[in-house]
Structure 1
Amino acid sequence: MTSEKLSGLARLTDAAFLSEQGKLAKLSRKEAELRAQLAHLLEDRAMTAHADRPLGDAALAAGADIRWHQWIAVRQTRLNAELLQIMELKRLQLRNVRKAHGRAQALEQLTLRAQADARRKKAARQDRDIG
């Protein structure tokens, strides 16, 4: 394959690699966002658990604190499920990134070999023309 064709393919594989990296970065940002939401939720739960409330507190008497803790538990479960899905997608995407990187590296090696072959052929022609 000619050096020009290999260079064109190299540009395409580099673009594919960058695209796969971009997808991985997007998943990583989503994972960080979910982890931050979970941390914030757990902080809120800890703050309400340690809050001193008088026995006559209306929210306490109405059971709002119980509903609040139930809501936190449901929200935490949902966030953990979403986080698990994102982590699995990220694991699969990492495989795609590695594959794209391998293709780019292989094509780079092919390009270097093609260029070296072209230089050798050119040198052999020059030697033959001189001699």
Structure 2
Amino acid sequence: MKQSKDMAGLIQISELQYRTAQADMARIRTREEDLRRKLAQLIESKSAQAIATQRSDAAALIAGADIRWHRWVDQRRAAINAELAQVLALKENSRVRLQNAFGRDRAMQKLSEQMLKSQKAKHTRRQSYES
């Protein structure tokens, strides 16, 4: 049995929208993971620096460079956290779009299946009347 061209076009559009929403979500998740990794690296380097500073009387400590470095790390963490908050908001919006696209795609698939069954049943009835 054949589907109408309009129905086939609608199915393609719904599939494309769903795949696009999936790709957007994947891109956002990758960005989120990258930001979280950067945050973890900053925290780890700050901790390592604090331990190293306690063990020695480094020239950087005496010159005050470590204080500036710690301030830079804190500023960088704040900037990354702000960007992460934006990414999480985008992720939520993307999740909603993905959920809607998935629902539309599933509905189009079910509708297509029902139409094919209906056409098949019609065809079977016509053949039984002609016999």
- TM-score exceeds 0.5: yes
Instruction: Write the mapping of 1:82-101 to structure 2, written as runs, cut at 5 A.
Output: 82-101=83-102
Show the counterpart of 1:16: 17
Instruction: Give the length in aligned residue pairs.
Output: 127
Instruction: Write the mapping of 1:18-37 to structure 2, written as runs, cut at 5 A.
Output: 18-37=19-38
For residues 40 and 99 of structure 1, the distance between their equivalents in structure 2, rounded to whole angstroms, comes to: 36
Shift of 1:66: 0.8
For residues 59 and 119 of structure 1, the distance between their equivalents in structure 2, rounded to whole angstroms, comes to: 81
Show the counterpart of 2:46: 45
Show the counterpart of 1:67: 68
What is the percent sequence identity of the aligned residues? 32
| Aligned amino acid, residue 76 of structure 1 | R
| Aligned amino acid, residue 129 of structure 2 | R
| Aligned amino acid, residue 75 of structure 1 | R
- Higher mean alpha-carbon deviation, 119-128 vs 37-46, is at 119-128
- Please tell me whether the aligned partners of residues 6 and 110 of structure 1 are also in contact (alpha carbons under 8 angstroms): no
For residues 78 and 94 of structure 1, the distance between their equivalents in structure 2, rounded to whole angstroms, comes to: 24
Q: Partner of 1:123: helix, strand, or coil?
A: helix
- Give the unaligned 5+ runs of structure 1: none
Q: Partner of 1:50: helix, strand, or coil?
A: helix
Show the counterpart of 1:3: 3
RMSD: 1.2
| TM-score, scaled relative to structure 1 | 0.92
For residues 34 and 58 of structure 1, the distance between their equivalents in structure 2, rounded to whole angstroms, comes to: 32
The 4+ residue runs of structure 1 with deviation greater than 3 A are: none
Q: Partner of 1:3: helix, strand, or coil?
A: coil
- Give the unaligned 5+ runs of structure 2: none
- Please tell me whether the aligned partners of residues 14 and 104 of structure 1 are also in contact (alpha carbons under 8 angstroms): yes
